[in-house]
Structure 1
C-alpha cells in the first residue's frame, strides 16, 4: 500500500497514538495496545473512529490525517479475510459522514484506500461500490467514473460476480441520473441490461422499460436499434412500450400518430426534438426546417456518402476556380507593371 500516514512512527506506537486520540474524544476504547496484535487494534480503532468523523467541530484536514493513519495500517494485516472485514468496516464508517465537507474528506480517504489495493484484490470492487455511493452523496461522481471503458478496466484482473456487477451498475446508474448525466447513465443502463441472459431477462423488466422510456425521451439519443438486441428488451415483445420502440426504430411519423391515437393514455408528453418546425396559424401550415433520423439504414448511409462526395467535388472545383483567378490576377498585375515601365 502507498497512502499518507497519520504520523511517522512505528506501527505499535501509531496504534497507541490512535487509541489515545479517540479516547480523548470520548470513545470507549483503552489507550493501551491489544495483546492480541495489530488486527485486534485495528478492529477496535475502526469501531470508534466515527467519533472523529461526527465531531461537531471536526477539522477536515485533521480528520483526513487520522483516517489515513488507519488506512496505512492495513498493510500489516496479513490474512486477507480479516483485512477484508476491516476494510468493509472502515468504508461503512466513512460512508456515514454527517455533512458535505466531512463527506468530501471521507471520499478522499476512501479513494486513497481504493488506489492502495492491489489490482488482484477482490476488495477493490467492494470499496468501489462504497465510493460510488459516497461520490453520489457529495456530488463528486466524476472522481470515480470517467466513462464506460474506464469503468470496465477497473475489474479486469479480479472481476466481480454477475450479481455484484448488476448491483453496482444499478447504483451507478442512479448516481449518474441524479447528477444530471443522462448520456453516461444511459450507457450504464445498457451495460446493465447486457448482463442478463434469456433465462433471467424477466428480472430486468422494470429496468428495460425505464431504459426505453429514457432513450425515447432523450433529445441527444438518435440510434435505438441496439436496444432491440438486449435480452430484457426482447422479453417485452408484445407490450406497448416495445411496440413504441419499434415505431421509433423502423417507422415514420404516420406510425407514431396511429399509435398515439390508439393509446393516448399510454403516451405521456414525449418530446424528442427530432423535428424542428414553425407553425403558421394564419395559413394553417407547418413549415419544417429540419428533421433527425432515429435510425440510419444502408440507404441513409449511401445518401450521406453521395452528399459528401458531391461536397468534396464542389470544393475541388471551387479551389481550382480560385486558383485560376489568382493566376489571372497575378498576370494582370505583371502586365500593368510592364506597361508602366514602358511609359517611363
Structure 2
C-alpha cells in the first residue's frame, strides 16, 4: 500500500495551505482506487472538496488499516472545514453520509464513530441541523457495526445537545429510535453469542447490561430469561409458540435443547441432594439409555459435582454452581457473612479472656 503523504494525515485543525493538501489528497485517492477522471480542475474549493467526498466510496475499503483510514478521513475533514460557512452544509452532510455508507467490516465501526464524533465537535457551533444529522449517522454506524458501547458520548451529553440544538419532538423520536436499534443490535448479538457458546452456562449478568435492558419485552430478552431462570419445559413451550423466531434468530433449536437440559439439571440439583434416574429421565426428556452419558456431560461443564449410584438408580449431588444470583441470594450471603463475623468476634473474645 502506498504511504499516505505527510500533508494528508494532518490534524483536523490543519495549518497547511489548502492547495497542497488538496493535491496530496487527490493524488492519494487516485492511487487508491478513486476514479481516474476525478474532477479536480475546478478552482472552486467547495467543488473540489465535494468531488473528493463523492469518490470516498471507491477509496474506503478494508485494504486500508483502520488507523490509516482514520488519519485520511481526519485530513479530508480538515479540508471541509476550510469551506466558507455559508456553503458548508452539503459537504459536511455528504461526508458524514459517506462514512455511514462505507461498506466496511464490523471492526471498522469504532473508527467511523471517532471520526463522526470529531465532526460534531468541529463544525461551527450554530450549525445545529448539521450536528443533529451527524449524530444520527454516528448512531447508525454504531447499529450497523454493533459497537454502541464504543461511543464516547453519553446519554447525558445527548440530552444536552438535544436541548442546545432546539431539536423537534419528531427528531427526538427519530434519535431515540435509532439509539434503541443500536443498543438492540449489540444486545441481540451478546445474547445470541452467549446462548450459542457451548461453554457458557451462567448468563444472569447479561440482564444487567444496558443494551440488554433495552430489549426487555422482546422475544430475544424472553429467551434469555428462560436460559437464566427456567427449565426445559419452559423452553419447549416458548419454542412451540415462537418457532419462526427461533429459526431466524441465529440460535439453533437442537443446541438449545442440549443446553437447557443441562441447565435444568443444575437448577434442580441446587435444592436436592439426590435425583432418581426416573426423575432425570422425565424432567430432561431423555431415554434411560442416555442418562449416564448425560450425567458425564453435566460433570464436564464443571457446574456440578455428583456421582451415580447404579444399583440404587440415583445421582448423589455433591455441589452445584448457582445458575443465577438473585436479590434473595445476596440477602442470604449477607446473613451468612454477618453470622461468620459474629462467630469470629466471639472466638476472638474467648482467646482474649484465656490470654489474660
TM over 0.5, shorter chain: yes
1:4–1:68 contact (8 Å) kept in structure 2: yes
1:29 aligned residue: 38
**Post-superposition shift, 1:260?**
6.5
The 3-state SS of whatever aligns with 2:16 is: coil
- State the alpha-carbon separation in 2 of the partners of residues 155 and 324 from structure 1: 63
- State the alpha-carbon separation in 1 of the partners of residues 235 and 142 from structure 2: 47
- State the alpha-carbon separation in 1 of the partners of residues 192 and 333 from structure 2: 37
Gaps of 5+ in 1: 195-206, 223-247, 249-255, 329-344
**Correspondence 1:201-240 to 2 at 5 A:** 208-218=218-228
The 3-state SS of whatever aligns with 1:278 is: strand
2:226–2:234 contact (8 Å) kept in structure 1: no
- State the alpha-carbon separation in 2 of the partners of residues 209 and 153 from structure 1: 29
Which of 308, 313, 316 is 1:280 aligned to?
308
State yes or no: 1:92 paired with 2:94. Answer: no
- State the alpha-carbon separation in 1 of the partners of residues 27 and 239 from structure 2: 66
Gaps of 5+ in 2: 1-9, 163-171, 196-202, 241-255, 271-303
In the superposition, the TM-score normalised over structure 2's length comes to 0.55
2:293 aligned residue: none
- State the alpha-carbon separation in 2 of the partners of residues 279 and 173 from structure 1: 38
- State the alpha-carbon separation in 2 of the partners of residues 260 and 164 from structure 1: 33
In the superposition, the TM-score normalised over structure 1's length comes to 0.57
**Post-superposition shift, 1:301?**
6.8
1:20–1:30 contact (8 Å) kept in structure 2: no
Change (3 A) 1:63 1:285: closer
- State the alpha-carbon separation in 2 of the partners of residues 14 and 313 from structure 1: 74
State yes or no: 1:316 paired with 2:345. Answer: yes
The 3-state SS of whatever aligns with 1:117 is: helix
**Post-superposition shift, 1:111?**
1.2
The 3-state SS of whatever aligns with 1:30 is: coil
2:79 aligned residue: 73
2:143–2:183 contact (8 Å) kept in structure 1: no
- State the alpha-carbon separation in 2 of the partners of residues 294 and 209 from structure 1: 20
1:48 aligned residue: 55
The 3-state SS of whatever aligns with 2:214 is: helix
- State the alpha-carbon separation in 1 of the partners of residues 326 and 65 from structure 2: 56
State yes or no: 1:191 paired with 2:213. Answer: yes
**Correspondence 1:11-30 to 2 at 5 A:** 11-23=18-30, 27=35, 28-30=37-39
- State the alpha-carbon separation in 2 of the partners of residues 192 and 108 from structure 1: 25
The 3-state SS of whatever aligns with 2:38 is: coil
2:100–2:140 contact (8 Å) kept in structure 1: no
- State the alpha-carbon separation in 2 of the partners of residues 285 and 30 from structure 1: 81
1:279–1:286 contact (8 Å) kept in structure 2: yes
**Post-superposition shift, 1:291?**
6.7
Alpha-carbon RMSD: 4.4
**Post-superposition shift, 1:42?**
2.6
The 3-state SS of whatever aligns with 1:67 is: helix
The 3-state SS of whatever aligns with 1:96 is: coil
Change (3 A) 1:190 1:65: closer
